[in-house]
Structure 1
Amino acid sequence: MVTCLAAVITGDIVASQKVDKTKYEQILKRLKDLFDDLSERYQLRFDIFRGDEFQLVLPHPAHALRVATLIRLTLLAEQIDVRQSIAVGPIDQLRDNVKSSTGDAFVRSGHQLEEMKSELFRFSSSQPELEWHLSVTILLFDAHLTSLTKTEALVLSCYLFHPDEPHKSLAERLDKSRVNTTKLLNASAYSVVDTYLAYTQALIEQHAGDNQ
Structure 2
Amino acid sequence: MIAVLTGDIINSAGYKTTDWMPVFKNFLRKLGDSPGVWEIYRGDEFQIRIAPEKALKVAIQIKALIKTIKHLDVRIGIGLGDEDYRGVGVSESNGSAYQRSGRTLSLLKEKKINLAIATADSQLEDTLNLMLKLGLDFMDTWSVVSAEIIVLALENPTASQKEIADQLQIQQSAVSQRQKRARLDLVEDLLNYYDKNFKSPRT
Scaled by the length of structure 1, the TM-score of the pair is: 0.86
1:155 and 1:39 map into 2 onto residues whose CA distance is 24
**Secondary structure of residue in 2 paired with 1:10:** strand
Alpha-carbon distance between aligned partners in 2 of 1:159 and 1:18, rounded to the nearest angstrom: 29
Aligned match of 1:7: 3
Deviation of the 1:53 alpha carbon: 0.4
1:166-188, Cα deviation, whole Å (9 max, x unpaired): 10111122222211111101111
Question: Which residue matches 2:84?
Answer: 92
Deviant stretches of 4+, over 6 Å: none
Residue of structure 1 in register with 2:169 after alignment:
175
For structure 1, list consecutive stretches of 5 or more residues without a partner in the other structure: none
| Number of residue equivalences | 196
1:1-212 correspondence runs (5 A):
5-19=1-15, 21=16, 24-39=17-32, 45-58=37-50, 60-79=51-70, 80-117=72-109, 118-203=112-197, 205=198
Q: 1 or 2 for the larger relative contact order (CA 8 Å, sep ≥6)?
A: 1
* TM-score (norm. length: structure 2): 0.90
Q: Aligned with 1:95: secondary structure?
A: coil
Give, in whole Å, the separation in 1 of the partners of 2:75 and 2:162: 33
> How many angstroms apart in 1 are the aligned matches of 2:32 and 2:59?
13
The answer to whether the 8 A contact 1:92-1:103 is kept is: yes
Displacement of 1:197 in angstroms is 0.6
**What are the ranges of 5 or more consecutive residues in structure 2 without an aligned counterpart?**
none
Q: Secondary structure at the match of 2:32?
A: helix
Deviates more, 1:5-14 or 1:135-144: 135-144
Aligned-residue Cα RMSD (Å) equals 1.8
1:32 Cα deviation (Å)? Answer: 0.5
Q: Secondary structure at the match of 2:76?
A: strand
Distance 2:30 2:131 in 1: 27
Deviation at 1:77, TM superposition (A): 0.9
Q: Is contact 2:31–2:37 with CA below 8 Å preserved after alignment? A: no
Secondary structure class of the residue paired with 1:92: coil
Q: Is the 8 A contact 2:37 2:89 kept in 1?
A: no
